[in-house]
Structure 1
Amino acid sequence: MEDTASRGINAFISEVTQRGGHAVRLTHSRRNPVQVTGNDGSTRIVRVRSKLDGDWQARRQDESLESDDTRSEFWVFVDLAVTPHQFFMLPSVEVADDIRSEVDLWMMDTPGRTRTGHHAIARGRVAHGHDRWDVLGVAAVKDPSIQVAAPVAPKRAKTAVVVKKRRASAADDEIPVIDLRVEVSADCHGYRWIGRFDETSGVLEIVRGPMEGRRFPNPTAAANAVTGHISGDIESYDGWVFWTVDGTALGARHRRSA
């Protein structure tokens, strides 16, 4: 399954292509940059933020353009909750100014706060940028004759993983090694993590997503580590709620199986 960020970026690239432009995802930054080439040959960097529900998520540090290592000219907000998907384009300068104004009010509300952490962006703050494809140099109307192949995410089995291991003897018999750990997942900051939780020891290992291969002593330590790795801030999540098993909080499942 694609994470939310990848789904939004792929949807945006498809839209640009069908409007006569060209877009490619860049990998030098975690801020989801995409390089867009318009119909006139001009290029620009945009940051793509995507959501499945609720608000879009940014950081309070985005109030400063100096923190943007992508050097973007625009932000593109992708709403995946509606069909067809909706797109909102705003200049990076405007987004930074808007975040700064909101953070100023938030700071005044409770003295002693710091200008770091998550920052939610509601639809009303970006609505005026709906379908502003002209600022990216592409056509306002899609060309239905342009077919874009949708990327196919690899399928992942939800059943126990079976690893075949050869014996040290000369025989070719294979010994199945079954991973009995519980597969868990989490979506946050536009990323998806897949982990394996050992119900006996409490250890949780990240098997897919940022920090893949890292092991943590409990679900909460894992949740705060992976989210802090993305945001750059100190996070405080309840791991038993953060991680889910087939849509159910890990804590609820763990109590049932205890």
Structure 2
Amino acid sequence: MERKKIDIRGVHDAGISTAIAEIQRRGGSARRTGRLLAIAASSDLPNLADSVLAKVTAKTSGDWQTSVTYGRGRIAGDVASKERYWIFVDLGTGPAQFYIAPAIWVREEILKRHEEFLLRNGGKRPINPDSVHHKIKAKWIAQWRQRWGLLGLPDE
């Protein structure tokens, strides 16, 4: 059976829905608040004061896509200073796989890997010097697979 392709927005929405369902399956609750998820370790709907904020990013194949501006901590609406965790959702693996990483670690990793990339390429991007695109490979975040405990939820 051929898989139907969905656009980037559809992948993002599917990632958020899948993450919310998994959080609920583990006994927690989550709701969207702008570009982030507010997550509580109980089944009560979280209010912002009692919740952990997480950015959700999803993929169906290849690598996760983001921006080097996250590594620099400069994102529109200052989202980068508000989230505490990133939830990476791999929708292309049969049952979805989740990687939950601290936001500060993700930001530092993006910055480190981008600087290494620039060093290998003479200090600038070789094709489009103005691009802010950054990829995140699953092997780079493998240590964060199924780390739901960081959000106060059971790991299994």
TM range (shorter): 0.7 to 0.9
Cα deviation, residue 25, structure 1 = 1.4
Which amino acid counterpart does residue 21 of structure 1 have in structure 2?
G
Larger helix share, 1 or 2:
2
Tell me how many residue pairs correspond in the alignment. Answer: 137
| Structure 2, unaligned runs of 5 or more | 1-5
AA in 1 matched with 2:116? L
Deviation at 1:39, TM superposition (A): 3.0
Is 2:17 the counterpart of 1:10?
A: yes
1:34 counterpart residue number: 37
Structure 1 unaligned residues grouped into runs of 5+: 142-258
Residue pair 1:61, 1:116 contacting (<8 A) in 2 also = no
In the alignment, the residues of structure 1 paired with residue 89 and residue 58 of structure 2 have an alpha-carbon distance, to the nearest angstrom, of 5
Is 1:88 the counterpart of 2:99 in the alignment? Answer: yes
Structure 2 distance, partners of 1:93, 1:140, is 21
C-alpha deviations, 1:191-220, integer Å up to 9, x for none? xxxxxxxxxxxxxxxxxxxxxxxxxxxxxx
Contact 1:60 1:115 (8 Å CA) reproduced:
no
One-letter amino acid matched to 1:134 = G
1:61 to 44, 66, 69: 69
TM-score (norm 2): 0.80
Q: Report the TM-score, using the length of structure 1 for normalisation.
A: 0.49
1:19 to 2:19 alignment: no
Q: Deviations over 1:165-211 (max 9, x none)?
A: xxxxxxxxxxxxxxxxxxxxxxxxxxxxxxxxxxxxxxxxxxxxxxx
Q: Distance in 1 between matches of 2:20 and 2:147?
A: 15
- Equivalent position SS for 1:98: helix
Match of 2:142 in 1: 127
Q: CA separation in 1, counterparts of 2:155 and 2:105?
A: 22
Asked if the contact 1:19–1:139 (Cα under 8 Å) also holds between the matched residues in 2, the reply is yes
Instruction: Kindly report which structure 2 residues correspond to 1:179-258, keeping only aligned pairs within 5 A, or say none.
Output: none
Query: Structure 1 or 2: larger strand share?
Result: 1
What is the CA RMSD across the aligned residues, in angstroms? 2.1
Distance between the aligned counterparts of 2:131 and 2:103, measured in 1? 19
Query: Displacement of 1:140 after TM fit?
Result: 2.5
Q: For 1:63-103, what per-residue CA distance to the aligned partner results, in whole angstroms no more than 9, with x for missing partners? A: 12343722100001000001210000110100011111111
Q: Give the structure 2 partner of residue 101 of structure 1.
A: 112
| AA in 2 matched with 1:35 | A
State the AA in 2 paired with 1:74. Answer: Y
- The offset of 1:13, in angstroms, is 0.1
State the AA in 2 paired with 1:15: E
Whole-angstrom distance in 2 between the partners of 1:126 and 1:78: 12
